[in-house]
Structure 1
Amino acid sequence: MTSIHSSDVQTNKAVQHCALWTALVTPFNQNGSVDFISLREIAQHQAAAGNGILLLGSTGEGLALTAEEQFSIVDFICGLALDTPLMVAVGGSNLSEQLQWLAQCNSLPIDAYLLATPIYAKPGPVGQTQWFSALLDAAKFPCMLYNVPSRSGVDIPVETLQQIQNHQNCWAMKEASGDINKFLAYRQHCPEIDLYSGEDAMVPYLVSGGVKGLVSVCANAWPEATKKYVECCLSKTATQCQTLFPLWQNAVDALFAVANPIPVKVLMHQQGVISHNTLRAPLTALELANSDDIQHFDQRIAQWLAAYST
């Protein structure tokens, strides 16, 4: 494959035209070490499906990894020279550590960053503006902000996004509050920002609001089907694509029956695409007492893809 990282122009174009980013899981061996064999296979599968790859997000259990493990994963994926854009998460709540992380990753052939609100601290509009401004200044690649109040405890205020939307590195937002009104408020007041859904099932309902694409958990288990689903949504009217909602909503519910990424890793292990369903504590596959639902919807999604493809 030919790497897409040969110039800034190509990199920015690749980022801007990627409608589906897979928030990649981090496979582990039974002893808890990173399973690089499975990691290579699932990353290559995502690239073959045409999906962008997000590394070390919450689905990738990024905050459960050591700094050395985080860098080894990013460096390993970069070494594969995949023909698809790569985004790296910047998490945590220690600003100096996040700036050091950006300095490390700035030298790698990646394409974008995902910048999250610092967890636990619950900063207000001023604190978040200062936080994101510092990260944007330090980044050498386009940045997607991440609004996920279920994990951070607070929303990214509209006034914060208004303050930073014209920064040269502020490209997009992953909106994962599940609140359509919040999405529409960002769209209305921050027109310079591309908005991506962080909720797989919400895409049909966000088409009329100008959603650019999806940052997906489901795509880990269903790379090709999720790609077709997003393409279908973005190519149709809101009314047309809402017919997709019941199946995908039920499938998403199954994949979030317990804390993400437990169900999707269990399913991927059942599919044979990762060698183990190991997670980092405090998460455990034992939390999912019954996997009948995810197996059922694995079959349903496969049937939907076959029917759509014909």
Structure 2
Amino acid sequence: MNVEDISLWTALVTPMKENGDLDLDDLASLIHKQDEAGNGILILGSTGEGLALGLDDKKMVVETASSLNIEVPVMVGVGGFNLREQLEWIEYCQEYEIEAFLLVTPLYAKPNVKGQTAWFKALMDAADKPCMIYNVPSRTGVKLDPRVLKELRDHPNLFALKEASGSIADFQEFRKAAPDLKVLSGDDGLTPFFAMAGCKGLVSVASNVWPKATHAYVNECLAGHGPQLLPLWQECTDTLFSVSNPIPSKILLKEKGWIKTSTLRPPLTDDEVTDTKKLLDADKRIGEWLDQQN
């Protein structure tokens, strides 16, 4: 399956054992669930705690994901503030069955137009895979400047933008800067609005726990039916973001029996959630909605 054909990418969590070691068996199981739903798989993004994992752990995630016999493409997160390390990471990943890269705006340094442009160009020049640029100012401290997209829109390795600023106005500015570039929503609850504004899909957290239902939700949004789904989906996805992502997702995955523990790497902790009732209620409501679709 080609990356261009994917309208839903799941920003996959990274399962761990009680002692904090990776649980590669659970990781493989989650990947197969996404494959069954037809969802592209993003590993080692912020939901996958990519910045909290050491290089050896990240390599094991890539090796596991690329070793499985799946039909959907795998995209790997590339993010930080040391360009040389990111270039070395791209070089390593390209030795495996990886189909795309997610390139996040540089962290912490807050570069302006020329710095952002040089950063993304260097990464895309090094990649021999399609690349998706990721705008998430709430996490990086800097907003992608539309002029960067205008400068890079014809780069042969740029295939999409993940827009997670939460702003329809910013979304429209990006569309003007690169009219032919595929833009995906980075916010589950706002997807109906972004779909009406011209987005072509979603990079989702919710699809970790609701892979088939979220796939159906995205299809409905792209067909123009999103507004009628908004009350249910916004309420249920808000539950998944009641505290820092991916804490609630991991807790619900454990409650569903899809992973063995909800362990996270510090500074995140599952102690932030002491009552799972709202998560389980949301899970039940989304399950009932999916049954109605079938």
Question: Shared fold by TM > 0.5?
Answer: yes
Aligned to 2:197: 209
- Structure-2 separation of matches of 1:218 and 1:151: 18
Contact 2:217 2:226 in 1 (8 A): no
1:306 to 284, 291, 294: 291
Aligned to 1:71: 59
Contact 2:243 2:272 in 1 (8 A): yes
- Structure-2 separation of matches of 1:81 and 1:120: 37
Aligned to 1:291: 276
Letter in 2 for 1:209: A
- Structure-1 separation of matches of 2:255 and 2:5: 32
- Structure-2 separation of matches of 1:161 and 1:230: 25
Q: CA deviation at 1:92?
A: 1.1
DSSP-derived class of the 1:145 partner:
strand
Aligned to 2:176: 188
Letter in 2 for 1:242: P
- Structure-1 separation of matches of 2:150 and 2:41: 27
> Structure 1 residues 250-259 or 183-192, which shifts more?
183-192
* 2:13 maps to 1:25: yes
- The answer for unaligned runs of 5 or more in structure 1 is 5-13
DSSP-derived class of the 1:200 partner:
coil
* 2:259 maps to 1:271: no
- Structure-1 separation of matches of 2:64 and 2:277: 34
Deviations 1:247-285 (A, max 9, x none): 110111100000000000000000000010000001000
RMSD: 0.9
- Structure-2 separation of matches of 1:92 and 1:184: 27
DSSP-derived class of the 1:201 partner:
coil
Aligned to 2:107: 119
DSSP-derived class of the 1:134 partner:
helix
Aligned to 1:145: 133
Aligned to 2:245: 260
Contact 1:187 1:209 in 2 (8 A): no
Q: CA deviation at 1:88?
A: 0.4
- Structure-2 separation of matches of 1:206 and 1:300: 24
- Structure-1 separation of matches of 2:106 and 2:96: 24
- Structure-2 separation of matches of 1:136 and 1:95: 12
Q: CA deviation at 1:192?
A: 2.6
- The answer for unaligned runs of 5 or more in structure 2 is none
Q: CA deviation at 1:125?
A: 0.9
- Structure-1 separation of matches of 2:69 and 2:81: 31
Aligned to 1:179: 167
- Structure-2 separation of matches of 1:81 and 1:127: 39
Q: CA deviation at 1:291?
A: 1.8
Aligned to 1:90: 78
Contact 1:218 1:264 in 2 (8 A): yes
Please give the residue correspondences for 1:30-69 in structure 2 after superposition, counting only pairs within 5 Å. Answer: 30-69=18-57
* 2:230 maps to 1:242: no
> Structure 1 residues 266-275 or 99-108, which shifts more?
99-108
1:282 to 239, 255, 267: 267
- TM-score, scaled relative to structure 2: 0.98
Q: Percent identity?
A: 47
Q: CA deviation at 1:151?
A: 0.2
Letter in 2 for 1:142: P
Contact 1:166 1:192 in 2 (8 A): no
How many residue pairs get matched? 294
DSSP-derived class of the 2:279 partner:
helix
Q: CA deviation at 1:289?
A: 2.7
* 2:220 maps to 1:232: yes
Aligned to 1:7: none
DSSP-derived class of the 1:233 partner:
helix
- TM-score, scaled relative to structure 1: 0.93
Contact 2:195 2:201 in 1 (8 A): no
Letter in 2 for 1:78: S
2:153 to 147, 165, 180: 165
DSSP-derived class of the 2:27 partner:
helix
